[in-house]
Structure 1
C-alpha cells in the first residue's frame, strides 16, 4: 500500500495542486500549459506537466520544454556578482562610477521632458548594492509612471524592448537622469542589466561567457542560455499574451500568440545580452540552480557561493528594514506583498503573517514576465517552481494560489521550522 505522505507532504494534497492548475487554468484556456515542481527534503515531491507548449501546432508541453524565464534571469546575474564579491574583485559599497565612469555625475530628475530634463545633484553616489536591491534610481520604461520612464521607452531601454548592445545601453543611461537619489526608494529597473555589464568588466570576460563557465557548466545547466540553438528549437515553447500586446483586455479567443517559437528572435544569439531578463531555461536546469541556493551555495560537490554570502543575499536590504510597499515607487514588479522585503537579487519574506499567504520568514523568490515563478524556503527544505508562458505575469493570481496549495500540503515541518 502506497504511503499517504512523501517527504513530509500529503500525496492527496499535492495532487490537489495539479488538479487546481489543470482545472482553473489549463482547461479554461487561461494558460496554454504549465510545469510544476515541488522539491522537499532532497527529492521531487511533485512533478507535473500540463497542457501545451504550442497551442497553434498542438505540441504537448514536455519535461524538457524550453521557456523564456525573463526576470528569473536576475537571481542568476546576482549570484554571478556575489561570486566576484567573494573574490574581492568588486565590493558592495563600491561606487558604480568606479566601473562606469560616465555615470559619476548622474543627476536626479527635477522636471522637464527628455529633450529638456532638469536635474538636481544626487544625495549620494550610486553603489553596487543599490543595483542588486533596486534602490539605484534607475527604472523600466514599462512602468509608464514618469517622464524618465517615457525617455526609456523612446530610447527602447528595458527588459523586453532594448535595442543595440549592452554597452550601448550603458552609454544611453548616462544621458538620462535618475528617478530618485540612490537609496531613497525601491524601483524595479534595468539595474540587473547594469550588473551584467559589471560582471563582464570586472571578470575580464564577456558576461555570457562568465555565466556559462562559472555557473551553467559547473551546475550542469545544459539548456540555459541567451538563445535557443537550432538542435533544441523543437523544444522551445510559444509565448502568449492576455489581449493584444499583453494588455489586460482579455480576448474572447483566449491568450493571443505573442512570440512564435519557429520565428522567434530567441533562435539567434542576441545583440543585447540582458542580465535582467534574457535567459531561456528548463525546469531541470532552474531546479538545479534553486537547489544550489537551498543548500547554501553548493550542489553535487560544486560550490558557487559560501553559505554566509547566501545568507547576506537573502536578508532584507531595504533601507530602514521596511517592506516593499513602504519604499516602492514601482507601478509594477514581480512582488508587491506586504511583509516582503528585498535582498541582493531576490524578494524575501520578512513577516509571513503580513503577506496573508503561507510561507516562512526568510523564504526568498522571484518571477518572470511570462508568469514563471520560483521560491526557496530553507526552513521547510522546500523549493517551488512554476513554468508557463503568458504575458503579463500580473494577469492572474496563480503565484499566490500555488504557494497556498503547496504549503497546505505540508504535514511535517522542516527542522528549521520546528
Structure 2
C-alpha cells in the first residue's frame, strides 16, 4: 500500500492534509516567523502525516531533521502527572490527600491579604490537596506572570530557575515561606504546581525524579531521546531556541552549542524541564490514546487515563470562568482542566473542530500536542519560538487536521 492509499484508508484526505504543509511553509517558516516546524499526526497509533520544515539552527544554516531534540517546556507537565498517577495506582498517594501530609513544612501556608515582605495572610478555607496541584487550583503561581506581590516574591527568590543554585528540596523550602495567592480550589492559576508534583513523585518513590520518569515511562515506552538535559550523543541534533521580535522576525534566545541544557539541571523541573523529540512524545501521546498502554508496555489503566482526561475544575466550570492566569491558553471557552492537561467538555464553545473529551497542552516555545480519544487521533507539533502566544498556530493546526478527516467515529 502506497502512502496516499495508506493515508486515505486511515480516514484522512491526503489532499486536505497537504494544507498543513502549505500553512507552515508559507505563513510561518518561509517568511521567517518561525525557525522550523515539525508536525506529526497519527490515527489508531499509525502515522498518517509528517511535516519537517526550516532550520533547527538558523545562524549556522542547519536544516531541521525528524530526530531534532527540542525544549518542550510545559509539555513536561503531563509526563510528571502520569508519573504521579502510577504511584496513585499503587496506593502510595491519593488525590484527596492534603499536600501537607507529604510536605509537613506546608501545613501553615496562609493566603495573601496584604504586604510585600513580610506578608499578611489569612488561613485558607480548606487545606491544599494533591488534586489541586494536578489541576492548578492550589493557590501557587508563576513569577513570570508579574501580576501580584506574590509573583514578585517568586521572581526575587528565582523560584522557577532550573539551572540556578537550588534543587527540588530547596525549591519546596522556598515555597514554604511564601503565601498562596488564593485559597485552594477557589480559582485556576497556571503555576509551579506541577514542579511540586515532581517533588512528590521523587519523595514517594525514594529516587530522583529523572530516574523515576526513566524507569516508569521513558524506558517502557522506548522514549530514548527524552530527559532533563541533552546528552553528548544528542548534541548534534539539538535545536536553537528563538524569541519572536515585534516585527515578526527571530532573535536567538538559547544557542544549542552553549545552552544550559547541555548539563544536568540543579532543579529537575516536572513543570517544564524536559527535552524530547516529536517521535518520543508521539509515543507518549499514543500510550494515552490507547488507554495507558503501548506495544505491550502498560503505564496506566484505562480508568486512570479516563480520570485524568476529565474536567476537574470546581463546579464543572471552564477556564474562562475560573482562571486568574495571564497564560495565553486560559481564555478557552468550553475547556476545563484535568490531571495534567486541558480537557474539552463543550466542543461548540471552543469555536474550533474538536471532540468531546479531547485533551491537550503545549510548551512555552510554541510546541503542542493533543489526544482525541473519540477519533483516536494524536498530534505533536514542535518548533522553538518564545512566547507561545505569538501566533494562533495550535488552533490553526486543529482546524486543518479535522477538515482533512473525512471518516469519523462519532
Please state whether the residue corresponding to 2:282 is helix, strand or coil. helix
Q: Does 1:53 align with 2:48?
A: no
Distance 1:291 1:231 in 2: 26
Distance 2:244 2:159 in 1: 23
Q: Does 1:318 align with 2:320?
A: no
Distance 1:163 1:75 in 2: 26
Q: Is the Cα contact below 8 Å between 1:227 and 1:269 reproduced in 2?
A: yes
Q: Is the Cα contact below 8 Å between 1:225 and 1:280 reproduced in 2?
A: yes
Q: CA deviation at 1:18?
A: 1.0
Cα deviations across residues 34-55 of structure 1 (Å, max 9, x unaligned)? 1001101331110110001000
Please state whether the residue corresponding to 2:25 is helix, strand or coil. helix
Q: Which residue of 1 aligns with 2:191?
A: 189
Q: Which residue of 2 aligns with 1:239?
A: 241
Distance 1:112 1:132 in 2: 29
Distance 1:179 1:333 in 2: 19
Distance 2:146 2:140 in 1: 13
Query: Structure 2: which 5+ runs fail to align?
Result: none
Q: Is the Cα contact below 8 Å between 1:335 and 1:347 reproduced in 2?
A: no
Q: Which residue of 2 aligns with 1:246?
A: none
Q: CA deviation at 1:387?
A: 0.2
Q: Which residue of 1 aligns with 2:74?
A: 71
Distance 1:182 1:106 in 2: 11
Distance 1:305 1:54 in 2: 37
- Aligned partner (choices 291, 294, 297) of residue 292 of structure 2: 297
Distance 1:361 1:298 in 2: 21
* TM-score between both structures, scaled by the size of structure 2: 0.97
Q: Is the Cα contact below 8 Å between 1:6 and 1:45 reproduced in 2?
A: no
Distance of aligned partners of 1:124 and 1:315 in 2 relative to their CA distance in 1, 3 Å threshold: same
Q: CA deviation at 1:384?
A: 1.3
Matched ranges for 1:125-164 at <5 A? 125-158=127-160, 163-164=165-166
- Aligned partner (choices 124, 131, 145) of residue 122 of structure 1: 124
Q: Which residue of 1 aligns with 2:209?
A: 207
Q: Does 1:100 align with 2:103?
A: yes
Q: Is the Cα contact below 8 Å between 1:159 and 1:276 reproduced in 2?
A: no
What is the aligned residue count?
Answer: 407
Distance 2:261 2:177 in 1: 29
Cα deviations across residues 334-372 of structure 1 (Å, max 9, x unaligned)? 443100000000100010100111101100000000000
Query: Structure 1: which 5+ runs fail to align?
Result: 244-249
Q: Is the Cα contact below 8 Å between 1:349 and 1:360 reproduced in 2?
A: yes
Please provide the CA RMSD for this pair: 1.3
Q: CA deviation at 1:116?
A: 2.3
Mean CA deviation greater in 153-162 or 191-200: 153-162
Q: Which residue of 1 aligns with 2:397?
A: 402
Q: Is the Cα contact below 8 Å between 2:164 and 2:266 reproduced in 1?
A: no
Q: CA deviation at 1:161?
A: 7.7
Q: Which residue of 1 aligns with 2:261?
A: 266
Q: Is the Cα contact below 8 Å between 2:163 and 2:265 reproduced in 1?
A: no
Q: Is the Cα contact below 8 Å between 1:159 and 1:277 reproduced in 2?
A: no
Q: Does 1:344 align with 2:339?
A: yes
Please state whether the residue corresponding to 2:198 is helix, strand or coil. helix
Distance 1:77 1:400 in 2: 25
Q: Does 1:84 align with 2:87?
A: yes
Distance 1:20 1:6 in 2: 24
Mean CA deviation greater in 88-97 or 155-164: 155-164
Distance of aligned partners of 1:214 and 1:257 in 2 relative to their CA distance in 1, 3 Å threshold: same
Please state whether the residue corresponding to 1:9 is helix, strand or coil. coil
Q: CA deviation at 1:333?
A: 4.7
Q: CA deviation at 1:158?
A: 2.2
Q: Does 1:179 align with 2:156?
A: no
* TM-score between both structures, scaled by the size of structure 1: 0.95
Q: CA deviation at 1:164?
A: 1.4
Distance 1:9 1:179 in 2: 46
Cα deviations across residues 26-75 of structure 1 (Å, max 9, x unaligned)? 00100000100110133111011000100000000001000000000000
Q: Is the Cα contact below 8 Å between 1:315 and 1:362 reproduced in 2?
A: yes
Q: Is the Cα contact below 8 Å between 2:292 and 2:298 reproduced in 1?
A: yes
Q: Is the Cα contact below 8 Å between 1:17 and 1:405 reproduced in 2?
A: yes
